[in-house]
Structure 1
Amino acid sequence: MKKIVVLSGAGISAESGISTFRDSGGLWEGHEVMDVASPEGWHRNPELVLDFYNQRRKQALSAIPNIGHTVLAELEQDFQVTIITQNVDNLHEKAGSSHVIHLHGELQKVRSTIDETLIYDLDGWELKLGDLCEKGSQLRPHIVWFGEMVPMMDAAIAETRRADAFIVVGTSLMVYPAAGLLSFVGNAIPKYIIDPKLPPLDHVPNLHTFPMPATVGLTTVCNKIKGDNLRKI
């Protein structure tokens, strides 16, 4: 069975009503990004950070997958599909995708501030000061903040190297190390890039670009991949 690897970004979730950092003037809901998405911001004002992610979590819980998420989930009927996402929501899982790697963490999980291996599913949307791990330390959002390592990057690279086709959707390929995954795709492997604001990619071999919203582009690309697969059988 052919393997499809997908790198998804904020653009696909935007069509489900989840706001993106890129389109909000460098602010997240009126906050400087380093105040709510960095270890320094956490140490300065953990209550602000907790409230910020509580609101994001509350929004994500009510969000519904769009057709872009759905067509990716449906690819599993004919292909082995791995989704590598920069998004922290669970819309891919809600749509039915079974193999999702979250590069930047997950909103619905929290972790210990003294032992990063202690990770818990959060029941509901609210994490408060005084909520402790089993070792007695404050719990924090299970999010990869600016300046922190991306622990799932090695797994993402391994999956990317095995791709028979590589789809990038809803990301401008400006955020590293995620954007660097494209360099691990073989030259002979078809690459489909879907985003209204595509960066210059003239150096990328076997590239197919779709400067359009995620839902429209994914419908087009997934139909093409399924059609190509049928013609080879």
Structure 2
Amino acid sequence: MSKAPHLVVFSGSGISVESGIETFRASDGLWANHPVAEVATPKGFERDPARVLDFYNDRREQVRRAAPNPAHRAIAELERAGFRVSVITQNIDDLHERAGSGNVLHLHGELARARSSVDAQMHYPVPESGIALGDLCDKGSQLRPDVVWFGEAVPLFDDACELVAEADLLLVVGTSLAVMPAAFLLDYLADDAACVLVDPDARALAPPDVVPVDMKAGEGVPALVDQWQREQALAPPDGTMR
């Protein structure tokens, strides 16, 4: 039996903005009203943990009200159709999972989880009410959002690099490829693997050898998925996508 081609999806905030999730870096985004140093750094949490917890509790509630959009659903549909699909996302929402994707690596953490502020290996589910001051880990330390803040290491970066290195096709959607260290992921793509960038400004953003698709995520991703499914039906026995 031929081995199914491996599609790796690398998604950023642009894929979730069509679900109503505010982005951080847009001119009117979250950072415009919430300084990075105050809500997304270890020192900010040390200075005012209540403010930081409120900020992420609000983000969590926004995600709860949102729903996966056609881009999330198309990626999940490709997996259900028998393709081997891995998702690497910079997003801290759970929209990929709620759409049905079963193999999702959250590069920058997850809103749905809390962790100990003294032991990064201690993780806890976040209750509907959010994380409150006085919610402690088993070592007696205040719980914090399980997200990667500025100045912190990205613990799953090596795992993401391994996935990209295994990819037959890399689909980049909703990110400008400007955020480090995630922007380095393209360096791990095999020479014979293809890369497609879906973005309204894809032609301006795409590095050399990356195929640009100048469409919004909710339009471009379903169109590509439909194309790949039709091509796979006609694929040669080695299972490669053309």
Same fold, judged at TM 0.5 (above): yes
Counterpart CA distance in 2 for 1:178 and 1:148 is 14
| 1:209 matched to 2:212 | yes
Cα contact 2:22–2:29 (8 A) shared by 1: no
Percent identity between matched residues is 46
| 1:161 matched to 2:160 | no
Out of 119, 139, 148, the residue aligned to residue 115 of structure 1 is 119
> Counterpart of 2:24?
21
Cα contact 2:13–2:90 (8 A) shared by 1: yes
| 1:230 matched to 2:233 | yes
Out of 66, 83, 89, the residue aligned to residue 79 of structure 1 is 83
> Counterpart of 1:190?
194
> Counterpart of 1:130?
134
CA RMSD of aligned residues (A): 1.4
Counterpart CA distance in 2 for 1:187 and 1:229 is 22
Residue type of the alignment partner of 1:194:
V
Residue type of the alignment partner of 2:148:
V
In structure 1, the gaps of 5 or more residues are none
* Per-residue deviation, 1:202: 4.4
Runs of 4+ in 1 over 6 A off after TM superposition: none
Counterpart CA distance in 1 for 2:207 and 2:11 is 21
| 1:54 matched to 2:54 | no
Cα contact 1:86–1:104 (8 A) shared by 2: yes
In structure 2, the gaps of 5 or more residues are 237-242
> Counterpart of 1:68?
71
Q: CA 1:189 to 1:125, structure 2 compared with 1: closer, same or farther past 3 Å?
A: farther
* Per-residue deviation, 1:115: 1.0
> Structure 1, residues 188-208: CA drift from partner, whole Å, max 9, x if none?
2111101123354343x2x21
Counterpart CA distance in 1 for 2:78 and 2:228 is 9
| 1:88 matched to 2:99 | no
Counterpart CA distance in 2 for 1:58 and 1:27 is 15
> Counterpart of 1:11?
14
Cα contact 1:58–1:125 (8 A) shared by 2: no
> Structure 1, residues 42-73: CA drift from partner, whole Å, max 9, x if none?
11111110000000001111211011000000
> Counterpart of 2:239?
none
More off after superposition, 92-101 vs 61-70? 61-70
Q: CA 1:62 to 1:25, structure 2 compared with 1: closer, same or farther past 3 Å?
A: closer
Cα contact 1:192–1:221 (8 A) shared by 2: no
Paired positions, count: 231
| 1:38 matched to 2:41 | yes
TM-score (norm: length of structure 1): 0.95
TM-score (norm: length of structure 2): 0.91
Secondary structure of 1:111's counterpart equals: strand
